[in-house]
Structure 1
Amino acid sequence: MNLNHLSVFIEIAKHRTMVNASRSLGIPNSTVGRQLSQLEKELGVRLFFRNTRHINLTQDGKELLERTVHLIEELNEVENNFFHTKKELSGRINVSIPNEYGSLWFATCIAKFAKSYPLVSISCSTSMASVDPISEEMDLSIIYHRGIPNDSSLVMQNLATIPSVIVGSKNIIEKHGLPTDITELKKLPCISTWHALRANPWHFIDINGDSVSHKIKSVYRADSTNLIISAAIEGVGFAIIPRLFCKQYIDQNVLVEIDIGLQPAPLHVAAVLPDRVINSRTKYFLETIKKTMIEILNT
C-alpha cells in the first residue's frame, strides 16, 4: 500500500472535500483525485460516496480510516522529529488564540517562532470564544474556560490557572450596597460574557472544592475583557475578572474586591488539539506558548 496515497485518503476524510485536502497537503486537486483513485483500485474497494456537492466515507472507508489514521500520524511524527534534527521545521500551522490579552501575551513569541522557522507558514486567528480545532481545521486552539469543560472528549492541555475575583466600583457599591453573599449578589446588576466562557451563570468553587454555578442578573454582556473592565469601572455592574487583568485597578482603589463567601472559579488558559498525536512543528510551537505563559505568571 502506497503511504502517500493513504495520507491523501486520510486528509480527504478529515476535510470531507478534495479541495481542502489539496490545500492542506499543498498539492493540486487533480493529484489528490488521481491518488485516491489509485488507492481504491489497489484495495479493490470504494472508499467514498461522492457527487458534485458531497463526499462521505463508505463502510470500507470508515474501517480503513479507523485502522490507519494513527499509524500515519505516528509515522509523520517520527519523520518530523527526525528531520527536525537535520533541518528546519516546515509546513503549515493554523492556530487560534484569545483576542486582547491573548494577543498581547503571544504576539512576540509567535513572531519570534516565525522568524526562527521561516519554512513554517503560520495562519493565526483571534477570538474570545473557544474555537473547535477539528471543525475549524486548527492545529492548535488556545482557549479560556471556567469550571468543568462542556466537552470531556477534548484533547486539552492546561497552560495556566489564573485566580479570579468579584469586583465592583465605589459608585455601584454606594448605590446598591456591598453584597455579602450570593443571594444578595444575584439581585444586583452584573456584567458577564456573551458567548465566551459559558456566559451566564457564574461559576464558583465552594468550601468543599466542588464547582457550583449561580444564575446572575446580567445587565451587560460582552465577549471582551477590556469592555467588561471598563463597564465595571463605570459602575454598570459587578463582575468576575481574572485578578491578573484587573490588579492595577484594585491597587488604585478604582475597583473594590468583594468577598461573598464563594471563590470565583479561576480562569484556565488551555491548549486544545485535534488529536493526541501532533506533528513536530505544532509540538515546538506549543512549547513556545507554554514557556511564554510561565514567564508571564512569574513576572
Structure 2
Amino acid sequence: MELLNDMALFVEVVKAKGFRGASEATGVPNSTLSRRISALEKAIGLRLLHRTTRKVELTEAGQIYFERCKRIVDEARLAHEQLGEMLAQPSGVLRVSLPVDFAVIYMAPLIAEFAERYPGIGFDFDLTPRHVDLVSEPYDIAIRMGEPESSHLIARPLASLVPRLYAAPRYLERSGEPKEPADLEQHECLNILKANTWTLHKASASIQVSTSSRFTINSVGLIRRLATLGMGIMLVPEAIVMDDLAAGRLLRVLDHWHGKPTPVYALTETRLLPAKTQRFIEFLKERLG
C-alpha cells in the first residue's frame, strides 16, 4: 500500500511538472514529496527525475516508470471507485428484531414499501419481545419502543408516538363516555400486564388515574382487538389503531388528554453500518417521523 501511495505521488509530481504544483494538488508538503520520491528511486535503483530549481524532468527510465505507474494508479483508483459504489448499493440480507405487535399492526406496510424501493435486499425478521444480543446474535438492527436502556449499543431515535385513549362505540353506549380523566376509575381500562395507573397530560397539566381491568394482557394486538369488541378503553399510539379509527370501530375518548410519548429507536452494535442498514434506518426516520 505504501508503494502504491508513493507511485501515486510520483505521478502527481510528473503531471504537475514540479513539487510545488503536486503539493498544492495533493496537500502533501514539498519536503515530504521530495523525500518520498527519493526513497522510491532508491527502492527501485533508478533515477526517475532530473531536478532543477524551476522544474523537474523525467529521465528515460522515469518516462517508462511513469507510464507504468500511471496505468497502475488509474486501475487502482477505478477499482476503489467501483468497490465503493458496490458497497453503497443496498444489498444482502437485512436481519431485524422487532416488537411483535408494533411490527404486525404498524410496520408491515412500511416494510412492504421499503422492500419495493430496494429490490436488492432480502429480509430476515424476528418478531420477539425479548432483548436480543446484537453482539453475539446475527442481527443487523433491533427496533424497540420505550426508553432505551443504558448500554454499549448505539441507539438512534426514529420517532415519538403519543398514546391516546380509544374505545369502541358499543362500549361507550353501554358504559357511558368519560368526561374527565377521573371518570376512568369507573371504567374497564385495558392495560399492558398489571399496570394499574395511567398518567395523562393536557397542555401543562397532568394527572395520574387509577385503573382496573379483568384482563391481564402482554399483547398490544390483543388489547386492540378486545377494545374493538367493546371490552374497554385503551391507551395506545394512534399509529396502532389508524385502520380502526377510519372504519369507525374505535373512537377517541377524552380528546384533549394523552399519555406520555413513547420513543421508538433503532439499536445497532456499531456506527459503521452497511448500506442496507443505513437505508432502513433513514427510511424509518422519514416515514415514522
Contact kept? 2:154, 2:271, Cα under 8 Å: no
Structure 1: runs of 5 or more not aligned: 1-80
Secondary structure of the residue aligned to 1:103 is helix
Q: Select 2:109's aligned residue among 86, 90, 104.
A: 104
Matched, 1:190 2:183: no
Distance 2:219 2:108 in 1: 12
**TM-score under structure 2 normalisation?**
0.55
Secondary structure of the residue aligned to 1:270 is strand
Residues 142 and 213 from structure 1, CA distance in 2 versus in 1: closer, same or farther, beyond 3 angstroms? farther
Contact kept? 1:205, 1:264, Cα under 8 Å: yes
Corresponding position of 2:204: 208
CA offsets 1:82-123 (integer angstroms, 9 cap, x no match):
99615347887542023302233224525765x4257xxx54
Corresponding position of 2:225: 230
Counterpart amino acid of residue 131 in structure 2? V
Count residues in correspondence. Answer: 202
Distance 2:224 2:192 in 1: 11
Residues 142 and 111 from structure 1, CA distance in 2 versus in 1: closer, same or farther, beyond 3 angstroms? farther
Residues 295 and 134 from structure 1, CA distance in 2 versus in 1: closer, same or farther, beyond 3 angstroms? closer
Corresponding position of 2:149: 151
Residues 106 and 213 from structure 1, CA distance in 2 versus in 1: closer, same or farther, beyond 3 angstroms? farther
Q: CA RMSD, aligned part only?
A: 3.7
Contact kept? 2:92, 2:276, Cα under 8 Å: no
Corresponding position of 2:245: 250
Matched, 1:131 2:131: yes
Distance 2:249 2:121 in 1: 44
Structure 2: runs of 5 or more not aligned: 1-79
Contact kept? 2:162, 2:261, Cα under 8 Å: yes
Distance 1:269 1:166 in 2: 19
CA offsets 1:179-233 (integer angstroms, 9 cap, x no match):
22332213321112349xxx654454453388x7655213334444443222111
Corresponding position of 2:56: none
Distance 2:191 2:260 in 1: 14
Residues 117 and 247 from structure 1, CA distance in 2 versus in 1: closer, same or farther, beyond 3 angstroms? closer
Larger C-alpha radius of gyration, 1 or 2? 2
Secondary structure of the residue aligned to 2:203 is coil
Matched, 1:262 2:263: no
Distance 1:272 1:200 in 2: 30
Q: CA deviation at 1:143?
A: 1.6
